[in-house]
Amino acid sequence: MAQLVLVPSTLELSAIGKPCFKPQTQCCMVNSTTLNLRTSKFPLKKVTFQRQKPLRSLTVCATTLPIGQDAPPQPTNGFDQSYRDSSKRKRVMVIGGDGYCGWATALHLSKKNYEVAIVDNLIRRTFDLQLGLDSLTPIASIHDRVSRWKSLTGKNIELYIGDICDFEFFSAAFKSFEPDTVVHFGEQRSAPYSMMDRPRALFTQSNNVIGTLNVLFAIKEFNEDCHMVKLGTMGEYGTPNIDIEEGYITITHNGRTDTLPYPKQANSFYHLSKVHDSNNIHFSCKTWGIRATDLNQGVVYGVRTDETDMHEELCNRLDYDGVFGTALNRFCVQAAVGHPLTVYGKGGQTRGYLDIRDTVQCMELAIANPAKPGEFRVFNQFTEQFSVRDLATLVSKAGEKLGIDVKTITVPNPVSKMRSTITMLSALSLSRLHLMAHIFITSYLYFLDNVACCFAENVDWVRICPSKSLKKCKARPKLAQ
């Protein structure tokens, strides 16, 4: 029987002023019964990396705040003012900081003069090795990324390599860094991946739910005033035929009225894990007095922020495949290489969208305006709404302006019995906090012209079309041929 065996290379990392150590990663074997995705344990180190090769000089024009000055205060709007009154620089731990949203957020906060630490087990890179996928844009190692950022800005990002599902590791990292805020991106975030087979469904549930529980218990045990900012998803609500409120809905039934958590209608094992997250966080806030913000985001697009644009080694990833890619990224890449745009069914599936630059803004606003102790609040994080058909039309028009002939074809919808449209309310809370949103079409023209076209030669034509149906989840993992 065929097997896929991954043996990541051993990295020897020299910590300045500290002994060398060699973190190992277990082999990930895919066979008929197991899928072990956990990294092995190693002693916790607060690591500062030093490159052995000389760095090329680069002049960077950037405006930063003076050392010791906090990020600019935002309007209070009833939020907890005491959190911002302290004169010390705020410490933010970004879990999953090597990923798409996490990396952009970590750099943005560091530039805004927050003290930042990244916690990551680097398993997202292992997923690419398992499935034969890759980012369209070249991605440097996390060690080179952090080192390059410090060489350009003089700002240090602390790095903790390990699995938050290992509470011994995470509690040691938490106590070492002592964060004021924990930003939690550290989850398996793909619905198609969670629906591929039983082992990946189990991994998604255990990784996402246990990881979040460990974060909650660390906050409860070591710093109950720490603010948790959690990345949620609009997908956990399914496709209801009513507007999606921000976390709660007031209903009247049999003459009585109450405000309840908005009903969840997840359509994948990934989205089910987000439902469990919301329930666990809600319970912890009410029971333990923890303060938490859940940012239910729409589809994020774009690669470049002011910070990731500073050097090629700071570049963010762009996924366009059928497992981790989005329809928008797929359309962008298909248009750039002359492949017809592949629209699901009639293309009526409507979602909220936001630029990656708005994502990092939303995170900063949530951190600067924290929830009150015992409060679990939910922000709907999107700036515009489009159907898949709308996106195809926008991409076609963008292609015309760039001299690209873009055609469109239809393919079967991977999700069965799913409503074609969804109506959502505006992101009211973020509007009150004065989110300065980017306009989609302007951003997308830049995205198509300067990213997809520039890296078109890296496109894997085998991966350019959606191939994962959420209806075909298997009990056994798909084996390598």
Residues annotated as part of the active site = 233, 270, 274
How far is 204 from 271, CA to CA, in rounded Å?
Answer: 10
In the numeric block, the tokens 């606003």 are attached to: 365
> Three-state SS for 29?
strand
Residue type at position 153: T
> CA neighbours within 13 Å on the CB side: how many for 10?
9
Joined together, the tokens standing for residue 146 give: 């952090």
Residue 374 falls in which region: left (phi positive, over 0), alpha (psi -120 to 50) or beta: left
How far is 105 from 86, CA to CA, in rounded Å?
Answer: 22
How far is 145 from 360, CA to CA, in rounded Å?
Answer: 18
Residue type at position 192: P
Dihedral (Cα; 152, 157, 162, 163), 10-degree rounding: -110
What element of type H or E holds 280? helix 269-288
The burial class, CB within 10 Å (0-12 / 13-18 / 19+), for 86 is: exposed
Check if the beta carbon of residue 317 is closer than 8 Å to that of residue 290: no
How far is 284 from 230, CA to CA, in rounded Å?
Answer: 13
